[in-house]
Amino acid sequence: MAEATLAGLSEQDVYLFNQGSSYHSYRFMGAHLTEREGVSGVRFAVWAPNASEVRVIGGFNGWEGSGHCMGQIGTTGVYTLFIPHLKEGELYKYELVTQEGVPLRKADPYAFLTELRPGTASIVTDLQSYRWNDSAWLQDKKRHTPYSRPLLIYEAHAGSWKIKGKEHFYTYEELAAELVPYVSGLGYTHIELMPLSEHPLDQSWGYQITGFYSATSRYGKPKGLMSFVDACHRHGLGVILDFVPGHFCKDDHGLRLFDGTPLYEGYDANRAELPLWGTLAFDFSRCEVVSFMISSALYWMDLYHIDGLRVDAVANMLNLHMDKPPHMHTYNELGGRDNLDALRFLKRLNEVVFHYYPDALMLAEDSSAWPAVTSPTYKGGLGFNFKWNMGWMNDMLRYMSLHPDERPHHHHLITFSLCYAFSENYVLPLSHDEVVHGKRSLLNKMPGSYEEKFAQLRLFYGYWMTHPGKKLLFMGGEWGQFDEWKDGDMLDWMLLGYESHSSMLDYVRALNHEYRSLPSLWERDAEPEGFQWIDVHNAQQSVISFIRRGRSSFSVVIANFSGRDYGDYRVGVPEPGDYGLRIHSGGFGFGAAALGQPDRYVAENTSWHGQDQSISIHLPPFTFMLLAPCKGDTF
């Protein structure tokens, strides 16, 4: 094609796109409002190297594209066309004619907005005119490293936190007005949103995507999402978005067989097919796919001011055999099962994100034992800065579901995590995946009576909050949602009318604020020096105690996982002086008024647990206690 077919695109842009090095390809691919020779209109660009013809169709031409054929730029596979006089709001698709002459109607892979399902057309959209008011947040973020700061994440599904009726969702603006102050008031530092990229099926929760650049229309327009993020930042909350680079859904209007050939998914069906999910894996051996997906990550940060990405299903991306029957197993060029293309992609993704956003959060949802996930790529790592600690989560939920009489025989489940707690920078996740598909809610995993369930959940939350690692809790867990998560309904907010649930909310709020106020609980999360056992061996009584240390402070934790009352329990402490009771899990909920616990303990010169000093406490059943040295008359 003649050079004029660039239609305002740079030859360098297209070259880098073909090389897998165009990290902002959304700036020229897709539909852009622009001017050409003084005439306003829309420039379209799409990658379809194996099509015999590509046309733009839409309401403006009666969905008949013979008059709007696109031109290919050389042999790059990139087709472009400028259509004058088109405006924002126009619906469009690409009509791609295969080598066999079959026309396919496809949504724009780079669409910035998509019709509300079941519609599938792309929509011309301007994303540049939103006026942000979060400059103070962005500047403050640059002054702190996330490793030595509190990180307390509230995970939310926008379509079921609250709803007005079946499929009658809150808008982004309404979520900004209600969800944001609620989460901020509870003391969280970040909101993590389950995927907001456009997806056709509500029940996929956003994990099976058709629009990797489209904020879903279920909750409104793109500028509504921008206003939500803006509100979060003004309330001191960061925003983490679930990012899904591992696969895409097979809907006809999406990426599957985009130009009549396996383009985004690759030619080997055994490698492309993900039978467990009914989706297709991206082929990261294709440079243009790498440009597409890395640009998507930066797009959410550039245009929506997203603070970080939780990268979904890393283990599945890295393992060619995961969740596949033997007859579908494929091997890399070295004869192994590692997906080397996905490995290279993840490393480059992190390198590029941190190049442009050194203060970003990149969290790996990784259930494998892959080494050095949170080590820099120049040291051989994957380059994330945090990894979900799935081992801790699985061990603790198994332990907490045991009858208390069985717990002494499984004491290792609450102690083993400290053998590897500092091998990565961890987040301790209590996510949506643990409260669906018959797994029961966190509250209902706890054994025993109604009262004992609440007592044990408070105990568990206390141990979770003081264990090394950053924190994540799925919505509803903060007040003890009794039923497991129902994605088609909203949370059972009416439960807050019951004292047991409202007290749980008070407890979580207090625990969150104590966590944030005590540097010993987060300042040295990834350092062995930040943790010290006081007593790790008391399996018979199901009691553990330990010290958390910051740079210049420490706190003491005692947790009784048994149903027995220990009236005079002695605990070693590292220094003389007074210890203030910061949190007692029994002080929230049943019997709180009769707790009768002192709020200050004086260390005695009695050696215990290898410490020179000790204190004597009353330790009721299923109790968590957090103490810190007093400073004068305060603590």
What are the residue numbers of the active site?
312, 365
Task: Tell the residue number behind the tokens 């003491």, with chain if given.
Answer: 556
C-alpha to C-alpha distance for 366 and 373, rounded to whole angstroms: 9
- The answer to whether the CB of 122 falls within 8 A of the CB of 111 is yes
Cβ-Cβ contacts under 8 Å for 326 (sequence gap 6 or more)? none
C-alpha to C-alpha distance for 578 and 600, rounded to whole angstroms: 7
Cβ-Cβ contacts under 8 Å for 193 (sequence gap 6 or more)? 156, 157, 158, 239, 240, 241, 242
Cβ-Cβ contacts under 8 Å for 231 (sequence gap 6 or more)? 176, 177, 180
Number of Cβ within 10 Å of residue 156's Cβ equals 21
Would you list the DSSP string of 36-74? ETTEEEEEEEEE-TT-SEEEEEEGGGTT--TT-B-EE-T
C-alpha to C-alpha distance for 30 and 64, rounded to whole angstroms: 19
Cβ-Cβ contacts under 8 Å for 93 (sequence gap 6 or more)? 56, 57, 58, 63, 105, 106, 107, 108, 120, 121, 122, 253
Residue 1, SS3 per DSSP: coil
The residues with which 584 forms a beta bridge, in sequence order, are 625
- What are the structure tokens assigned to 43, written together? 């420039």
- The answer to whether the CB of 427 falls within 8 A of the CB of 363 is yes
C-beta contacts of 340-345 below 8 A and 24+ residues apart: 341/283, 341/284, 341/285, 342/246, 342/284, 342/317, 342/318, 343/318, 343/382, 344/284, 345/245, 345/284, 345/290, 345/293, 345/294
For residue 30, give Cα distances in angstroms to 123, 213, 358.
10, 10, 28
Task: Give the total residue count for the chain.
Answer: 635
- What are the structure tokens assigned to 131, written together? 């006026």
DSSP conformation class of 226:
H
The residue type at 4? A
C-alpha to C-alpha distance for 503 and 427, rounded to whole angstroms: 26
Give, for 299, the enclosing helix (H) or strand (E).
Answer: helix 287-304
Q: How far apart are the first and last CA of the chain?
A: 75
